[in-house]
């Protein structure tokens, strides 16, 4: 009996091969031929699942974005389902734990961040990735916005915070931290990224005479 191949599993296998090629050689080297070689498949097998390279790149970008945001959403759902901590440190830790899933704080998240940056940069001039990039930005905005709404519901939050403005500031911070941690890991260690994120979140709360995190 011929072996039954799950099409979705095979497509994700090919996407993983795209990430491998990008991580080792950059996006420009992610041709169908190179991807097929990395996946251990014949070129014709890859073409069976993807009509062309543009289709493969969009699919791989969307899978990359989904993996990143699903990790954050799992943590976010836990935050939303539990009562908000009334203690300052507990509130900051709960909110930061969600947002940390968007930062390259370990090998898995760093690998995803490297691929994600390559795709986002290519989307600037590649019309085939424009829609996927916009969906990715909306997904990040949704996660960040929901975290901020949780924080702003706390009696510890400062008054008159504007959700949209704070979301843009926080997204900018996360993007900047990710870029520095990927490109300058010797200067931007995970511990620094965590502390910087917490200092920012702490600045949204009523001023505390005793800072929780060092400068």
Residue-wise pLDDT for 20-63, tens only, equals: 999 999 999 999 999 999 999 999 999 999 989 999 999 999 99
Enclosing domain of residue 101: 61-202
| DSSP3 helix / strand / coil % (the chain, rounded to 5) | 75, 0, 25
Nearest one of 168, 135, 152, 146 to 68, comparing CA atoms: 135
Average pLDDT taken over every residue of the chain: 92
Domain identity same for 7 and 65? no
Which residue matches tokens 């997204």?
A: 171
Domain identity same for 42 and 131? no
Has residue 4 got a pLDDT over 80?
A: no
* Amino acid 5: pLDDT: 57
Which residue matches tokens 């031929």?
A: 33
- Is 209 in a helix, a strand, or coil? coil
**Tokens representing residue 91 in the block:** 């509130």
Domain identity same for 33 and 127? no
Task: Answer yes or no: is 209 within a domain.
Answer: no
Alpha helices (H) along 40-162: 43-49, 53-81, 88-99, 107-123, 130-152
Q: Please indicate, yes or no, whether the overall pTM of this predicted structure exceeds 0.85.
A: yes
Domain identity same for 34 and 93? no
Task: Answer yes or no: is 18 within a domain.
Answer: yes
- Is 187 in a helix, a strand, or coil? coil
Domain identity same for 146 and 73? yes
Q: Cβ distance 181 to 166 under 8 Å?
A: no
Nearest one of 18, 44, 42, 41 to 30, comparing CA atoms: 18
Nearest one of 108, 126, 207, 72 to 134, comparing CA atoms: 126
Q: Cβ distance 45 to 7 under 8 Å?
A: no
Has residue 200 got a pLDDT over 80?
A: yes
């Amino acid at each position: 009996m011929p072996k039954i191949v799950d099409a979705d599993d095979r497509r994700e296998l090919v996407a993983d091969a795209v990430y491998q090629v990008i991580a080792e050689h950059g996006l420009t080297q992610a041709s169908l031929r190179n991807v097929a070689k990395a996946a251990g498949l014949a070129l014709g097998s890859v073409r069976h699942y993807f009509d062309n390279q543009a289709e493969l790149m969009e699919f791989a970008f969307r899978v990359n974005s989904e993996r990143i945001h699903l990790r954050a959403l799992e943590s976010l759902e836990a935050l939303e389902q539990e009562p908000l901590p009334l203690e300052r440190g507990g509130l900051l830790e709960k909110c930061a734990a969600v947002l940390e899933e968007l930062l390259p704080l370990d090998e898995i998240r760093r690998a995803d961040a490297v691929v994600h940056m390559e795709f986002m940069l290519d989307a600037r001039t590649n019309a085939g990735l424009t829609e996927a990039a916009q969906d990715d930005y909306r997904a990040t905005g949704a996660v960040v916005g929901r975290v901020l709404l949780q924080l702003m519901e706390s009696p510890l939050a400062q008054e008159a915070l504007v959700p949209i403005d704070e979301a843009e500031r926080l997204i900018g911070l996360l993007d900047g931290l990710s870029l520095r941690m990927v490109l300058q890991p010797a200067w931007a260690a995970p511990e620094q990224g965590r502390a910087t994120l917490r200092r920012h979140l702490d600045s949204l709360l009523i001023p505390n005479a005793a800072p929780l995190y060092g400068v």
